[in-house]
Amino acid sequence: MGQKKKRARDHGVEIGVMKTGTLNAITDVPGVKVGHQTLIKRDNVRTGVTAILAHEGNIFQSKVPAAIYIGNGFGKLAGISQVQELGNLETPIILTNTLSVPMGIQGTVKYTLNLPENENVRSVNAVVGETNDGYLNDIRGMHVTETDVMTAIQNAQKGLVAEGNVGAGTGTVAFGFKGGIGTSSRLLPKSLGGYTVGVLVQTNFGGVLSIAGAPVGKELDRYPFRNAIEKSDGSCMIVVLTDAPLDARQLERVAKRAMMGLARTGGIASNGSGDYVVAASTAESMRIPYQTRERLDSGDVLKNDAMSPLFLATIEATEEAIVNSLFAAEAMTGNNEHTVNALPLDRVLEILKKYGAIKD
């Protein structure tokens, strides 16, 4: 999976103060893989599936601690109750469009049941998130199939993560421009544990766009509520993975900070927005076996006093992932001849220079 367009940092836009991982992607977290299935067909199908795998093994047999935080609950996130109740994740995380969540569940369940060691499994909690791509995509046609979901999972790999108009971000819109998939990471210094925090987003929401503190939306005169008929509804799915040894309670604290990263981009979690954060720890010491004779959990958990660097890392990586989704996305025409333009990068870069957000 390679990059098609320059990312924010390639243009000199440095968001935050912490160092990024080698790839500046969620796949900087060891073992994490991402896969896309992109559906662009005829003049009206603009959708897809993105799968995020917390580790390379059988996730059902070796579950990971997890938490979900709801920024605004106008959404259809499947699997949330079991994650909240048990504090773990047992499948890949699937992102798709609103009306394809059932297919997301079906494909993920079938994938899980087909894995070796899972022959006797009779219950699977698939975690499937969504945003509504119905402006560019014939969403009522429900074009995503269970095969598409399984293909996204099977396509998952380490390394560079394709961004913009791919997978679940194929038909999304953010801040009035073409949105999509974006990712970023932060690497804590060794003195703070040396942990990695990776974020992947599916952007399909509104607000007053801000990039590295510069009021881009205001300068472009593109923001909601300029008159009574405009609105900024939409959704943003945020996935946060880290190799820090965190339990479910601590992961919920991390997930909350991702919403602060969204806010730094100008997102407002509007009434009609489904803004969810799924956070999980990939640390091997925190894995939860499906079946065990042990009565007590094991594994050393990070102290609360050591959490603040992870909070900052999450905020910065979320902010940059959202910006990367906009920089990578390209203009698209779709259902009913609707067209959404890409972020006008030349003008945006001028604005960022004006406000000192780009280093010379």
Residues annotated as part of the active site: 235, 273, 275
SS3 39: strand
Contact 161, 321 (CB under 8 A): no
Closest CA to 188 of 54, 353, 25, 314: 314
Contact 327, 5 (CB under 8 A): yes
Residue 110, Cβ neighbours under 10 Å: how many?
A: 16
Instruction: Pull the structure tokens for residue 217.
Output: 């939306």
User: CA 353, CA 140: separation in Å to the nearest integer?
Assistant: 43
Helix axes 146-154, 101-113, angle to 10 degrees: 60
Instruction: Pull the structure tokens for residue 238.
Output: 């945020």
Look-up of token digits 């059988």: 58
Burial of 303 (0-12, 13-18, 19+ CB in 10 A): exposed
Closest CA to 36 of 145, 128, 169, 197: 169
Instruction: Pull the structure tokens for residue 198.
Output: 């990776």
DSSP H helices, 121-191, are 146-154
Tell me how far the alpha carbon of residue 127 is from its chain's centroid: 13
Instruction: Pull the structure tokens for residue 347.
Output: 């003008």
User: CA 337, CA 20: separation in Å to the nearest integer?
Assistant: 39
Report the half-sphere exposure of 227 (CA within 13 A, side-chain side). 2
Closest CA to 9 of 301, 257, 358, 306: 358
